[in-house]
A and B are shown apart, each in its own frame.
Chain A
Amino acid sequence: MKIEYINPFIQAAEDTFKAMCSVDVERDGELTVRKAGLSPAYGLIGVIGLSGSVKGAVLMTMDVGTGRKVIMKFLGETMITEADLFDGFGELLNIISGAAAAKLGKVHLAIPAVMTGENQKIHSVQCSPWVIIPMRFPEWGKFNLEVAMEEV
Chain B
Amino acid sequence: MKVLLTDDSSTMRKIQKRVLASMGIEDVLEASNGKEALDLIGQHKFDFVLLDVNMPEMNGMETLKAIRSNPDTVKLPVIMCTSVADKGQVMEAIKAGATNYLVKPFQPADLQKKIEATFGK
**Interface range for B:** 20 to 34
Q: Which 4 pairs of residues, A with B, have the shortest CB-CB distance?
A: A98-B83, A19-B105, A91-B9, A88-B11
Query: Using a CB–CB distance below 8 Å, which chain B residues touch chain A?
Result: 8-12, 14-15, 18, 54-56, 82-86, 88-89, 103-107, 110
- Total cross-chain contacts (CB, 8 A): 74
Interface string of A72-95 (1 = CB under 8 A from B): 001110000001100110110011
Q: Is the interface of B mostly helix, strand, loop or mixed?
A: loop
Q: B15 is contacted by which of A75, A107, A111 (Cβ under 8 Å)?
A: A75
In the complex, how many angstroms separate the beta carbon of A93 from the nearest chain B beta carbon?
10
Is the pair B85, A95 in contact by a Cβ cutoff of 8 Å? no
Determine the residue in chain A with the shortest Cβ distance to B107. A19
Q: Count residues of A near B (Cβ-Cβ below 8 Å).
A: 29
A103 CA to B66 CA, complexed, in Å: 29
Query: Are B88 and A109 neighbours in the complex by a CB distance under 8 Å?
Result: no
- List the A side residues contacting B89 at CB < 8 Å: 102, 106
- Which A residues from 42 to 66 make CB contacts under 8 A with B? none
